[in-house]
Amino acid sequence: MIVAMWSGGKDSCLAVHRMLRNGNEVSKLICMLDEDNQSRAHGFYKIALERQLKALQIDGVFGNSSWEGYKSEFKRLMNGLKAEKVVFGDIFLEEHRVWLEQVCDEVNVEPVFPLWKEDTEKLAREFLSEGYTAYIVSVRKDLGLDEYLGRKFSDEIIDELMSLGVDPCGELGEFHTFVTDGPMFVKPVEFEFGNVVEREKYKQIQIL
């Protein structure tokens, strides 16, 4: 069985898209939430992910943990699913990949990184050219990117972000997205934007 880690954002989406395009069947999407039932960096609640999964018509499995408990929760999920491979949307953070590989080795699961070491501008534009729609829902408070909250991810925004020195995929956590439509989706995700809130080092627009 192949499963994939699913944040709800563009990178995990593109990673799964590539797996499917290459003839692989991804059976389940794994969504990790924090103690408040939220995606920590992306900020949206479980209901937003449930709406995505409904629009995708792919089974989802939810885990809940603190940062400290993430490893044990991940291992519990992998053991329960008896997964053979797990797909990640990581692009270039070496330390994180090494950690993931170590954890996967402990549960005898093969990690797969379809986007690894590819040019992030090309990946961001590929996501759009493949026909996906996403919105920026979380930005780091220290970067002055508040104006991008709630805006549709586009080639123009990629240009603007790069002119500001921001990685076009936000691989360093500069921003996060919420995918609402595209080739994998049976129908668009039904959602509305709520208030902008501050959470840890991020400003996030709520998804209702």
For residue range 136-179, what is the model confidence (pLDDT) as tens digits?
Answer: 999 999 999 999 999 999 999 999 999 999 999 999 999 999 99
Q: Compute the 3-state secondary structure of the chain and give helix, strand, coil in percent, each to the nearest 5.
A: 35, 25, 40
Torsion angle defined by CA atoms of residues 164, 170, 175 and 176, in that order, rounded to the nearest 10 degrees: 150
Last residue of a domain, one of 112, 145, 165: 112
Q: Residues 45-62: pLDDT tens digits?
A: 999 999 999 999 999 999
Is residue 143 situated within a structural domain?
yes
CB atoms within 10 A of CB 123: 19
| Phi, psi values for residue 201, rounded to 5° | -95, 10
Give a yes or no: residue 6 inside a domain.
yes
* Joined tokens for residue 85: 């491979």
Q: Which of 32, 61, 58, 99 is nearest to 189 (CA)?
A: 58
Per-residue pLDDT band at 116 (split at 50, 70, 90): very high
Residues whose CB is less than 8 angstroms from the CB of residue 194 and which lie 6 or more positions away in sequence, other chains included:
205, 206, 207, 208
Asked if residue 126 belongs to a domain, the reply is: no
The CATH number for 165's domain is 3.90.1490
